[in-house]
Amino acid sequence: MEKLKPYIEKIRLFWKKRHITQIILLALLIVILLSILYFTYLASQANVSTLKAGLSQATVIYDKDGDEATRIKTDRTEGVEISELPDYVPGAVVAIEDERFYQHNGFDIKGIARVFFKNILAGRITGGGSTITQQLTKNALLSSEQTYKRKAEELFLAVEIEKHYKKDEILQMYLNHVYFGSGAWGIDTASQKYFNKSIKNVSISEAALLAGLLQAPSALDPYKNYDGAMKRRDVVLSKMKEQNIITNKEYKKAVREKIILEDGGGSFIKREYPYYTDAVIDEAISLYGLTQDELLKRGYKIYTEMDQNLQSTLEKTFDRDDLFPSSSDNTLVQGGAVLLDPETGGIKGLVGGRGEHVFRGFNRATQIKAQPGSTMKPLAVYTPALEEGYKVTSKLQDKPFKKGDYEPQNFTKTYQGEVPMYEALEKSLNVPAVWLLDKIGLDKGLDSLERFGIPLDKEDEYLGVALGGMHKGVSPLQMAEAYSTFPNDGERMESHLITKIVGPTGKVIAEYKSKSTKVTSKSVTDDMTSMLLDVIKTGTGQGAQVSGFQIAGKTGSTQLPFNATGTKDQWFVGYTPNLVGAMWLGYDKTDQQHYLESKSSGDVVPIFKTIMDQAVQYVEPENFSVSSVSQQLANEEDTKQKVEKTKKEITEKAKELEGTLRENSSKWKEVINEMKKDAEKVTEKVKEIIGN
């Protein structure tokens, strides 16, 4: 230690001479000042003057034209007026949540100091210490993340809110939007949920129980933890007496009161276009980090790619029981369908099922995983084969094929020896597709599927993927996005519903940025469209033809897991130059009583046709830049026949001319002889003249 003393003394003198302590303190003060300025600036940018109106409004979904499509109406968009409530209702909340609410300017120094040291000891943000104004700020304007930055934003925004609103206005907003557990948002809804009565009619004891739930709505849920909720009620009543909100007599009566629970229903959620709206909420949560609670209670404006005409077309079609097969026990055959703009990837419409629909329930348009059957062939086989140099007329082997344990069969169990590619696709022959994938290499097919955006598992890496044999499967949305590559010249645009989200204060909090993947070349997609046009014209998808419009597409079906005549899943994916549609049909659970009795795609094709018959009325009519393979071959044959006919006519004319010349050859000889004699006479005359 003695040896270190000289060094310590040097450091002390240097520290003192250079004023290091003052520099550190100055630096800290500068950091604090800059932080204050930063958060003050952030708070000033939030248009809190519109907060009250925003919170009382429903979240609105807008369509592609900016027109209102639907409002997501919940109980909290209505709310109650604080002036209509008994004083002990807001009093109970203030007593337990923020006893100095009417004295502070948005934040409570004592509460903040207490919680700060508590957090320091805990080594993390544990929450607490927030005033009612801060809680309102967090619920209405901020995320729920527990960080010091978010806490600072909360504090400065709370001060800003206090500048714009009276205390009772702040408390009213808080009471109408805070969570009380059991799905009840807002104090009036909570009163209905727990007591089956209006909040205007609750007793002091009941008001105290509701206020007590705010500490831990799930843990203190009186339906699950009655004793815990009652103990917390007593704490609230004690606070109310302590702060002279209620008298001692009222306190004693309230403590003795036995609360009887009665579920009066609680929250509700109403909206038009339920499947599309719920998918929008799912996307806002998964892509933009919002929560369901924020989306339902903050009055957002969400702009989407929805075409209300196309969405209505889908919903009306799915409501028609006559289009769908029926079951013996009235179990609904289910389905999911998507309509998508290939140029932008914008989802114009979607429906995820039939029958009753619960809020954010299972969506078969976006969430189902089903084997796609032969709709996979263009993606896994024919596109990569064309990229490898095969032609639409290339001959493919169509004879019994086996590799290892895998032995595919054609649907008809018959074989032609060899067929051109376009015919194999048109008739949806299985063996030529598998043979071709084996020929070009499985890795080429898997790479193609990855480019098309089809998710694969390790179990999918076998030749059966050519026929849609997948471990899990795909959704109609994934198939629609993949097929959108064909009418979009080889470019796959990311599918999306949301274009922009605007918060309750008018701030844009999320905006879609276009994402694309170059899948293949235009020449390849032109060839694919040429072949898929024939699928609709003369192949397995003939039933999907729409008068006056060109549609290309592919059918698909999967086998039953038991011995019966029918199919498990049926698919159809089709497109015009500016609209792609994909549909899945089947039962949620396939068994021997519940399966599609038609072969191939016999049920799904007429449903898809019905959708497209209506949908094409709302899109600009366009024609593909290419014709079907059969039309191209017919044109080539027609040209060939015309050439042969012309050659024949020329040959016949030549023969006719030759015959004429032969017939008149003797006459021509006489003429020539006469001409020779005349020439000789002329020559003699000339000589006589020259001689003289």
Of the pLDDT bands very low, low, confident and very high (cuts 50, 70, 90), residue 629 is very high
Buried b (16+ CB within 10 A) or exposed e, 76-115: bbebbebeebeebbbbbbbbbbbeebeebebbbeebbeeb
The CATH number that applies at residue 579 is: 3.40.710.10
What mean pLDDT, rounded, does the chain reach? 86
- Fill in the amino acid letter for 72: I
Q: What is the pLDDT of residues 172-195, one digit of tens each?
A: 989 988 889 887 888 998 999 999
Of the pLDDT bands very low, low, confident and very high (cuts 50, 70, 90), residue 73 is confident
- Residue 327 in any domain: the answer is no
Distance separating alpha carbons of residues 596 and 598, to the nearest angstrom:
6
CA-based torsion, 595, 601, 607, 611: positive or negative:
positive
- Residue 507 in any domain: the answer is no
Contact by Cβ (8 Å): 558, 527 = no
Q: What was the pLDDT predicted at 435?
A: 98
Of the pLDDT bands very low, low, confident and very high (cuts 50, 70, 90), residue 506 is confident
Contact by Cβ (8 Å): 180, 213 = yes
Task: Answer yes or no: do 519 and 645 share one domain.
Answer: no
Task: Answer yes or no: do 420 and 558 share one domain.
Answer: yes
Contact by Cβ (8 Å): 392, 420 = yes
With helix as H, strand as E and coil as C, how does 197-224 read?
A: CCHHHCCHHHHHHHHHHCCCCCCCCCCC
- Residue 320 in any domain: the answer is no
**Which of 550, 581, 616 is the endpoint of a domain?**
616
Q: What was the pLDDT predicted at 295?
A: 87
Q: What was the pLDDT predicted at 559?
A: 93
Shortest CA distance to 383 belongs to which of 528, 574, 577, 518?
528
pTM: 0.73
Task: Answer yes or no: do 416 and 548 share one domain.
Answer: yes
Q: At what angle do helices 167-177 and 187-195 cross, to 10 degrees?
A: 40
Q: What was the pLDDT predicted at 25?
A: 77
Q: What was the pLDDT predicted at 665?
A: 63
Annotation says 374 is catalytic: yes
Task: Answer yes or no: do 19 and 141 share one domain.
Answer: no
Q: Say what percent of the chain tops pLDDT 90.
A: 62
The CATH number that applies at residue 247 is: 1.10.3810.10
- Residue 17 in any domain: the answer is yes
Mean pLDDT of 467-476: 96
Task: Answer yes or no: do 648 and 588 share one domain.
Answer: no
Q: What is the pLDDT of residues 654-692, one digit of tens each?
A: 677 666 656 666 665 666 677 666 666 656 665 666 555
Q: What is the pLDDT of residues 435-462, one digit of tens each?
A: 999 999 999 999 999 999 999 999 999 9
Instruction: Write the DSSP symbol of residue 600.
Output: T
Q: At residue 637, does pLDDT exceed 90?
A: no
Q: Catalytic residue, from 130, 205, 374, 428: name it.
A: 374
Query: Which are the contacts of 619, defined by CB distance < 8 A and separation ≥ 6?
Result: 576, 578, 579
Task: Answer yes or no: do 584 and 649 share one domain.
Answer: no
529: left (phi over 0), alpha (psi -120 to 50) or beta: alpha
Q: What was the pLDDT predicted at 122?
A: 47
- Fill in the amino acid letter for 685: K
Distance separating alpha carbons of residues 351 and 340, to the nearest angstrom:
12
Shortest CA distance to 459 belongs to which of 448, 449, 473?
473
Question: How many domains is the chain built from?
Answer: 4
Q: At residue 238, does pLDDT exceed 80?
A: yes
Q: Is 416 exposed, middle or buried (0-12, 13-18, 19+ CB in 10 A)?
A: middle
**Which of 207, 229, 256 is the endpoint of a domain?**
256
- Residue 648 in any domain: the answer is yes
Distance separating alpha carbons of residues 568 and 595, to the nearest angstrom:
6
198 bridge partner residues: none
Contact by Cβ (8 Å): 619, 487 = no
- Residue 659 in any domain: the answer is yes
Task: Answer yes or no: do 100 and 177 share one domain.
Answer: yes
Q: Catalytic residue, from 97, 153, 162, 283: name it.
A: 97
**Which of 584, 616, 648 is the endpoint of a domain?**
616
- Residue 570 in any domain: the answer is yes
- Residue 271 in any domain: the answer is no
Q: What was the pLDDT predicted at 143?
A: 43
Range of the domain at 116: 74-256
Distance separating alpha carbons of residues 128 and 134, to the nearest angstrom:
10
DSSP H or E run through 58 = none
